[in-house]
Each structure stands twice: as C-alpha cells, then as structure tokens.
C-alpha cells in the first residue's frame, strides 16, 4: 500500500523509544506527521530524546500518563515488546485509536518488493539465507534485511526504490500491530506454541502469525511448511495468495521438496542437500523456504548451490566457528531453552560433545534426557545450572559429565578430552544472564575462547 502522504498532518503517538521507536519518530516527522514520543523510563539527558526534541518532536517520559490520549491522537505506533494490556494501550483501544507497529509504516511508504518471514523458529536464519541468495546475482537494486534484524524497517522503506527488495523478519508482536500489511512474498517457517505470556492464548499467537498473509491477493505468494498439517490447513483456509509449499518429507507437485537427498523446485533439480554446510533438519527446512523465494526471483541454480556451500549461519545460531586439528566448533548460544538445544543436537548425524549451562530458573531438564542419551558423547557444563545439568547427563548415561564452572574452561577441557572428527557444540539450554549481558555476549566469549585455543595450538603450546 504505497502512500507516502498517508501520515501527513496526522497526530501520532510513538510508544516506547528504543531503536524502532526512534527511527519511526524521525520518519513520521519527515512524512509531515505531528509526533509525540512516550517512554516509561526517564529520558532526561538521553541523546536520542534530545535529538528528537531538536526536530520539534515532543518527548514525554517517566511513565505512560493516560492524559496523553486527551490531546489529539490519530494513531499509536508502539514498540512491539509493549503488551496490549498496557493501560494506555487498553484505553486507546477503548477509544478506537488505531495501534500499529513500525512494519506497518514501512509497508505504507515502501515502493520496494517486501519479502516477509515469520515463524516460531528459523526466522532469522531464513531471512539471512534469502538476503544472501537475492544479493548473489546482482539483481537490479539493493537487498536490505530489515525488521527484527538489520536496519529498522521504516528507516529503510522511506528511501527505498522500486527496484530494491526489503527482506523483513517479522515477529508475532510486530504482526499484531498490522492493518494493511501486504508483502509480495510471505514465508511461514513453522508454527509452535510460543510467547503465550504475551499473547494470552495459542489462538491469539497463531492469529498474529497469520496476519502476514491476510491482506495478500492472488498476485502475491505465501511459502509455508507443508510438513505441518495444522499450518497447511490454516493457510489453505485463510490465505488468498498463491500457495507455495516446501517439504522435507513429501514429494510435491508444486513447490520445493527433498527427494533422495536432492532438492527440487517444481520438479526441477536444484542441488544436492549435502552441499548445505549448515547442519540440522531445521536448517534444511529453512533452506527449502529460502530456495522458494530465490526461484520466484529468478535466481539460478548454480548461484543457489554456491551460496549454500558457503553459508555458515547467523551469529550465535548454529554458527560454524572453525576447526582445530580435525575438531569442529559450533556456536548455538541463542539456544536459551531445552527445545532449542534438542533441535541443535538432532542436526548432527553422530554424537557430539555438548557445552551447556547458564541461568538457573529451577528447570529440572528432564525433557533433555532422551536427546542427551541419543546425541551426546560427552557433556561439559558451566554457570548456575552446571551441577544440575551434570546430573541430567548422568541420568542419560552420558559417559563423561564434567562441571567446569565457566564457559572458557569448558572449551579448554572439552577440547582436551576430544578426538579428531569430534563436533564441539555450545548449545546452553539456558538463558545467559547469570554471567553475561545477553546470549550474544556469551556466544562471543565462546568464539574468543576457541580463537585463543587455536592460537595456542598453532604455537604448539
């Protein structure tokens, strides 16, 4: 819905500063809106707030006063993380004030093709795969990753050109705040239960995800996971787009599928699946979805194959870090729960050496036992949950279970216990906040420990 004058002379309240709020406020001001920014925390002396005030944007902080709704408000743009139960948002809804997120702004003002990706798992990896594939053949225009990763969507969209492509990762939080959002190509990687503390029910969560296709027409495409029966039934019922399934299990008449380790698109051979260096069945599914987008954009099979031979993943998500003396190291620091770690373990054909641990939330880790028994040969633990995870490993009959206390020591100890051909996998199954600011910092610590270890090995120490 390209309409760059839509926001002109509108009174817009931006709720939550952060990165997306800051960029949304600036873009809306540029588009001629009268903008007020409100943040719960105090913004006294905040550089971003001061910059907005210099642009004649009103900034109100230190709470969410309901009095803000007594001044003219045509529209609220909210930070995706702020729940709709927030009293100001609840009152705005009662008054019939539209509430959107920044991806709706981007859709309204972009002249570019929007390729939107959502799903419970695999969004970021699939987005990066698509970005790499579309940038690989020097198609007309630029390719931008926006939304949940990359640059803020509205900031890129305001200056985007018809020949550009916006590859947009969108969460359920963002999709709830859409009204007219209409991507040319939409991708749903999968749907499981998640974020129920935010959404309140699985139905609301699934409904939010389906907003990615609700405004699509027969001119648009929806790529979806055929191997999920529930999702297949939902998109057939809800979407008016051209449906393009992908499947790891079934041969399809149309779409992307795997047969005898070969990937096909509409019966055309694309590549051997073994050329995808990123391990895991879930990453194979991500690749199938990305290949569907690539073929719709005319990318050649040779380029697709070349990209996947070199695509080593997204930082901290099954990222291949490197090899030392025949051992391979993978960084999956983003695995902050047991399900993510189970998925990671299932991605390897033979047993791995697992490094796990982190914040103690009182989890008993019983659901990890089958995966540890089947996929783990040695377990090295760290952080607050180190001892609990060691006990879990012993219950799973893992031959070696060692509490190393710190991640850096876990890397050194695991390497000393390993043999050529082993995979050493950081997949913590826990949040990082016992010792790190976030999972990215934990993953970087792992990378630095591996780098230091490699340097010492090269010196012969």
List the CATH number of the domain containing 282: 3.40.1190.10
Nearest residue to 117 via CA among 104, 105, 131:
131
Mean pLDDT per segment of 10 residues, for the chain of length 461 residues? 83 92 94 95 90 95 94 94 92 95 93 94 91 83 87 90 94 89 96 68 87 97 96 96 97 96 96 89 93 96 93 82 93 90 88 96 90 97 97 97 96 97 96 94 97 84 50
Q: What is the pLDDT of residue 290?
A: 98
- What's CA 243's distance to the chain center, in Å? 23
Same domain, 123 and 267: yes
Tell me whether residue 415 is in a domain.
Answer: yes
Q: What is the pLDDT of residue 390?
A: 96
List the CATH number of the domain containing 355.
3.90.190.20
Q: What is the pLDDT of residue 52?
A: 95
Same domain, 360 and 438: yes
Q: Which of 100, 131, 151 is the last residue of a domain?
A: 100
Tell me whether residue 2 is in a domain.
Answer: no
Q: What is the pLDDT of residue 151?
A: 85
Q: In terms of residue numbers, what domain contains 18?
A: 11-100
Same domain, 137 and 194: yes
Same domain, 150 and 30: no
- Distance, in Å, from the CA atom of 426 to the CA atom of 439, rounded to the nearest integer, reads 11
- Distance, in Å, from the CA atom of 422 to the CA atom of 363, rounded to the nearest integer, reads 29
Tell me whether residue 1 is in a domain.
Answer: no
Same domain, 242 and 174: yes
Same domain, 303 and 346: no
Tell me whether residue 4 is in a domain.
Answer: no
| Number of domains forming the structure of the chain | 3
Q: What is the signed CA dihedral for 353, 358, 363, 368, rounded to 10 degrees? A: -10
Q: What is the pLDDT of residue 319?
A: 87
Q: Which of 289, 310, 331 is the last residue of a domain?
A: 310
Whole-model pTM: value is: 0.80
Q: Which of 41, 70, 100 is the last residue of a domain?
A: 100
Q: What is the pLDDT of residue 96?
A: 96
């Amino acid at each position: 819905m390209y309409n760059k004058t839509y926001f002109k002379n509108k009174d817009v309240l931006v709720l939550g500063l952060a990165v997306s709020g800051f960029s949304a406020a600036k873009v809306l001001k540029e588009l001629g809106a009268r903008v007020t920014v409100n943040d719960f925390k105090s913004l006294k002396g905040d550089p971003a707030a001061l910059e907005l005030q210099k642009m004649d944007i009103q900034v109100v902080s230190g709470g969410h006063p309901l009095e803000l709704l007594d001044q003219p408000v045509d529209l609220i743009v909210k930070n995706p993380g702020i729940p709709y139960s927030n009293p100001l948002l609840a009152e705005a809804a009662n008054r019939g004030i539209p509430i959107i997120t920044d991806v709706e702004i981007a859709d309204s003002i972009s002249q570019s093709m929007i390729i939107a990706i959502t799903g419970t798992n695999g969004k970021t990896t699939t987005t990066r795969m698509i970005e790499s594939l579309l940038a690989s053949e020097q198609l007309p225009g630029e390719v931008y990753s926006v939304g949940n990763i990359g640059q803020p969507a509205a900031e890129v969209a305001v200056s985007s050109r018809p020949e550009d492509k916006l590859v947009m990762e969108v969460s359920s939080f963002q999709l709830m705040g859409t009204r007219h959002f209409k991507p040319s190509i939409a991708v749903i990687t999968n749907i499981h239960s998640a974020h129920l503390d935010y959404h309140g029910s699985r139905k609301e969560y699934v409904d939010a995800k389906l907003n990615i296709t609700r405004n699509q027409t027969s001119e648009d495409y929806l790529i979806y996971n055929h191997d999920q029966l529930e999702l297949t039934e939902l998109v057939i019922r809800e979407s008016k787009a051209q449906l393009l399934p992908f499947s790891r299990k079934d041969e399809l008449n149309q779409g992307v599928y795997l047969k005898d380790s070969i990937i096909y698109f509409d019966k055309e051979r694309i590549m051997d699946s073994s050329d995808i260096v990123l391990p895991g069945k879930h990453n194979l599914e991500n690749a199938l979805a990305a290949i569907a987008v690539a073929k719709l954009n005319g990318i050649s099979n040779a380029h697709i194959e070349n990209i996947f031979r070199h695509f080593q993943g997204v930082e901290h998500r099954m990222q291949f870090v490197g090899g030392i003396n025949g051992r391979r190291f993978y960084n999956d620091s983003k695995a902050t729960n047991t399900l993510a770690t189970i998925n990671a373990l299932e991605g390897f054909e033979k047993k791995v050496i697992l490094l796990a641990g982190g914040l103690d939330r009182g989890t008993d880790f019983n659901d990890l036992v089958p995966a540890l028994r089947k996929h783990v040969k040695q377990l090295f633990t760290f952080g607050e949950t180190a001892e609990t995870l060691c006990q879990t490993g012993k219950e799973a009959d893992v031959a070696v279970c060692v509490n190393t206390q710190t991640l850096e020591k876990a890397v050194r100890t695991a390497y000393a216990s390993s043999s050529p051909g082993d995979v050493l996998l950081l997949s913590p199954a826990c949040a990082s906040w016992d010792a790190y600011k976030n999972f990215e910092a934990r993953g970087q610590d792992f990378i630095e420990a591996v780098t230091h270890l490699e340097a010492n090995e090269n010196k012969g120490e």
